[in-house]
Structure 1
Amino acid sequence: MNGKATAGVGTTAKGITLIYAQILPVMAIVSLFPAIPRLFAQFGHIPAAGFLIPAIVTIPSLCCALFAPLAGIIADRYGRRRSFVGGMALYVLAGLVPLFANDLVVIMISRAFLGVAEAFAITISSALIGDYFGEKRHRWVAWVGVATSIAGTALIAAGGALADVSWRGPFGIYLAAIPAFIMALVFIDEPVSVRREDPARPVVRLGFPWREAALIGAVTLLTSVLYYVEPLNIARVLDFRGAGSATRIGIIQAATSLGYIGGAFLYRKLHDRGIGTLLALAAALIGSGQLVIGFGPSWQVVSIGATIQQLGGGMVIPTLLAWGQAMLPLEQRGRGMGIWATAFFTGTFVCSPIVSFVSNVSGGLVPAMTVMGFITLAAAVLAYMVLPSGRAARKVLASS
């Protein structure tokens, strides 16, 4: 035996706990979408409310992107379990502050801390999936995609219903994080390391694989940008094509999101293919869907395009997660997945200005969707040509 660390024992309870943690960033964003009008009614008289109130929704993702690498470093240095449990505890505390606070600044600060907690939750849960499940990780990363899609739809509906009760109502959804914290306490343990044959032999400290981490970060950032083009803009395109009321558009979006679930299961079926093949297929589906959206003459055709796009989108997170986990050794997987999380969440921020720029150049949002579709198809070809797609890549994805 060598001194390399290996995955700990994975159980169903651990897997469910880690998937639960992956839902938390979705909870932080989408549950508050319906509450924005109520928040303006409550705090609209405050100076800079036009900036502060939307920031309540977005600042957790910003802080998550900023602090994810630090969360990974702490997890690698001080242990996965204590870092993960601490992050989950902070999430519960920060998430519930708005139920009692009346000061918008206090709420903003609590949301920033919520983002820090998210950084720990998503970074360490991503690392632990690889640590615990090894070659079987593909089953769990596929369920991450399914769970986040279903949770997103349910949380929007719940947030809307609770916002009708009070502006504080949607913040009550964070009570659902308490079971996740308890599950982390009960089920999550520290991944074990393989014992060295010679205990007297000094431990070899591996250098951090910056080259691999940089590649993972760059590919994840680009893929995130291309994926988020549709989710961030499809409602406006449907409106342009006469889909009707906001409620009807929401129902259409919920229906098209079934494609995302299909994509997650498609990844599960094809997980042993090379990273180049998987990302090329995902990008081809996303790009094709964007082209159908851009050229679609009616909301019905646009909806078909959105479903195709979501089919590719459902492959994105499982593919990138499994690839990143396989490329990084256990001892440094926390920091590496922190870089992954930063890249992915940064993509959500830079996507909007990129689409805005393309819209200005191309003459509107609908033509921009067409342009982005061609760009994404070009990225699919590039992924297949540049990233490993053959047997060597399959061995990497199948190994721990």
Structure 2
Amino acid sequence: MDDLLVGKIKADMAYEFARTAPPEGFPAFHDISTERHASRAFHELEQEHLWPRTWVIAGRAEDIPEPGDYFTFGDLGVPLLIVRGTDGAVNCYYNTCQHRGAPVVRDERGSARRLRCQYHSWTYEVDGGTLVSVPDERDFVDLDWEVRCLPRAKCDVYAGFVFVNRDLDAAPLADFIGPLAEMIDPFEAAQMREVYRESRIIPCNWKVTAEAFLEVYHFRHIHSHDGVSVLDNRGAAMGLYPNGHSRMVTPYSKQNVQRLGLDGWDDWKQLDHGSTPTADVSGMVDCTSTAVSIFPNVIIPFGRIGFPINVFWPIDAHTTRLDWIYYGLPAEGTDRFDPDALPEAWESRKRSYDAIMAEDEMNMAPMQTSMESPALRGIPINYQERRIWHLHEQIDRTIGVERIPEHLRMEQVLAPYLEY
């Protein structure tokens, strides 16, 4: 991120500390209907029109380093297969043989020169998914090989992450990420490797989990210890990007500023974290909580020595799988981390981050219970929580506002506040 962006964020933070009300003219939000989190009908709208039409992270490019290397991906509710072609390109196909529907690969990860169904051995190329072999072809009348290729999904790589989109007409991934790249690119994430991962099944709607990471209004109430909070939510500076993405940079609290020997909340300088930095990024990242969201289901709280990604996958209308996967640079001379033998500095970060995640998780199931009861008639959102509104606006645009019952729709009011 360049000096202009860092300067803008610092100025926004100073404004946030000084303001006594939302900015003049900022829209008053109507309540968000709890049915968006609780009703099966809205969940089905998302399953039919949201998840098949947006870019999502399926894995990492280093997991398929050589031609023919593949991994499977099922979190969109259909069986997908990501494979590296002989030209080095990363392709995504449906893991569905075009004969009787058996999978063309059965292992979660592997390598194959060709993709061969183990049921009847119909065989496909890793480049293009072209059908190249059919046993006993003589028994098929007028078999059209060209229309029996493996169906494709869109696939691209950004920052080392493999993204897929089932919508073949979707805008390119680079256009989808858009100006959010100014926050992500400096961290050189393609060079990073997985440190460890955790996964939880939580009895709540996926948006309940996502919303917990889109504001810091809750921070001093949930994450403070002995009355001390690491962050000061009053100064949180937020940016809203096209396509539902956003950022949030939150200053350290007075107590944390003193603990670190800083001159003030705006004394941003690079700090020694005892590990190899991933990139030479602004000291802002060391002296604030700097986070972005990638629509619809990824939150990244950045760090100069590495960062986790939090990912939320709907299992049904009332159940979510929450994953967090931490990335960093392996020690010199190695190309990966051993999660069973992490250096103490990483073990310490793991304990700290897992504890934060547990504090966030403890409210999610009770919140879902309330949303499914008559006790909560609607969800009032304040200016400090505007990233939540931004998420819901984009959900409606992706589904198609006209498809959503009028009483569940989000008023589209934040376009004038987007950054391009």
With normalisation by structure 1, the TM-score equals 0.26
Structure scoring higher RCO (CA < 8 A, sep ≥ 6) equals 1
* TM score, norm. by length of structure 2: 0.25
Which structure has the highest helix share of the two? 1
Higher strand share: 2
- Structure number with bigger Rg: 2
